[in-house]
Structure 1
Amino acid sequence: MRNQRGSVIVFSLILGSVIMTLATYLLYSSTLDNKIMNTSIKKVQASYSAEDKINLCFGDKKYFDDDLIPRLKHYIKYKRFSNHINKNKIVLDKKDLETWDSLNILDLEIFRENGILKGSIKANSCYQNVNKTAIAVFNVINPIYNVSSPIISSSKIDDSEFFNDFSDLTLSDFENKAEIIEVKNYDMVNLYVTDKSTNKVKIEFYRYGQDKPSQIKYLTKNEMFLVIKNDDVNNCSLSIFQEGNELDKMLMGIIYVQGDLNFYDNINFNGIIGVDGGKLNVYSEAKPKINGLLILNECKEEDSIEEKITLTKDRFFLEYYGIFLPNFIKPEIYVIKQ
């Protein structure tokens, strides 16, 4: 009988130990699951917060239009972030963040991948001691400018939005670097590249069949930003001549004309030329050269252009002058990585 009682006591102790161990395990497992769940929630919250900062940078005008775009333009022009006190750091207003998140600095980087200019923005977030980082990668330049051809033509590219904007072209100054000449209500403009040290370029403006120009403008350098628009009735033609030294026949910048563009000499042009609704004519014996990009919208006889002009898509001149075009800089995020 005593042996049976002893066995019961031993069994009870063993059973009690098993129950206590099982209870402790269940309690530990429950606590661990709760910690894992809380940590996961914190990670998700921190991840969302980091992504929200990137979306804020791209979605809020004061960060996108007033901060990010000017920095990208400056980098393209000078190959460095030197125009801002914070260099490549984008500082968000803390009132735009969650009350618990004080990490308001984003890192901006620019790089090339397969020749295409791209950027990345890195944002950090901390929620209850859990840190997460989000990195957004984006294309810097409007994809239509990444085509391999030196010609963008409405007859070959189906993008009505782009060419509608092109027909209403307005150049945007950048850091007061450009003297933009906008011309309207003239039917003929003559441009002369000279060999003079002070007046590198002479521009004559003619109105409706006049023998003498209504206006003459001189430029002190051979860089120009010239926009010639018609009067909604008649197109305006632009004719380019070379005067003086045969070796001094280079032009740079942006030329846009709603009408015909006529080359009377083999000018070398570095930059972007747009011909809208007209025809490109060459009357010189040697071919003019365009190093950069030629944009054509509803142009006549464009199939023969490459026989008349030597065209080279020069990435440097395209980007250097493209920053003055509307929607040339068009950052679009295509992936966000954690």
Structure 2
Amino acid sequence: MAEVRLENVTKSFGKLTVIPDISLTVPDKSFTVLVGPSGCGKSTLLRLIAGLERPTSGTIRIGGDDVTDDEPSKRGISMVFQSYALYPHMSVARNIDFGLRISNMPTEEREKRLAEAARILALEDYLDRKPSELSGGQRQRVAIGRSIVRNPKVFLFDEPLSNLDAALRTQMRVELAELHHSIDSTMIYVTHDQVEAMTLADQIVVMNKGRIEQIGSPMDLYDTPASVFVAGFIGSPKMNLLPGKALGRPDIATVGIRPEDLEVTENDGWDTKARVVETLGSDTIAYVRVEDVGEMTVRLPGHIRLKDGDRLKLRADPERQHHFDEDGRRIERTDV
């Protein structure tokens, strides 16, 4: 497998600049997730790595080799798309090894790779079936199998779970994590879903308007977001972002408080009224309004029973607050 390195890569379409200037290292054998809202440039960046788009400027290296001008087939990569793109008239086995067949790979080696991919993806019992006889999750596994048999240096995934329902997405997240552990490969994964990013990644790259906001492990981004954008994007429910002046902190533009860092108190605290309550079993999520402060979300243990309209006092843990300046950048605290 291989390290992927982007050096001062830019991408423009005519007068529209989608990637202003990005430098990024994807470590060998890591599971790196590019995450951000629609239009942030994450899929364009993946296509640049794949060779489906050429950079306007900059250098792309895979395994130390400059592949900036190489065709996709010469880069040692394999890509799994949002669409399964399976041949409906072919069996699972033929779909998986089709690329090997057209490259005239010897039968013995082709069958060996097919058997190994089927074993890894638990598809041995489905090799003779057609795609129409499979579930959505099984079809996606077939698409992944088609990539595995090529023995690529790098696997690229472009929102592969977005067509699946919630239960299948959860199942496939587990299977993708197990796949990464079993084949110990470099994987780059694009998603707009921060839950996928948090559960799958060794390294998360948060993108916004074609730029990198922050790179780090899931918990680095969760515990120490580098900007207001990252603070509001990573975490579900998202962080409460409140004006510092409203909290008596005129020297701080924005104060961030995670919903779970608010607690119900008997004495000191904000007097609030629950506008809407979501009872989720393990958690109770309440959406409240604090006078002269703003709207807030609080996550409480599931055993705390609330209903819409209930009044409660809330206190924010002062040691778990996040401070940001006028430019939305993190202020490192010295008072904790």
TM-score (norm: length of structure 1): 0.24
Which protein, 1 or 2, shows the higher relative CO under an 8 Å CA cutoff with sep ≥ 6? 2
Rg larger for: 1
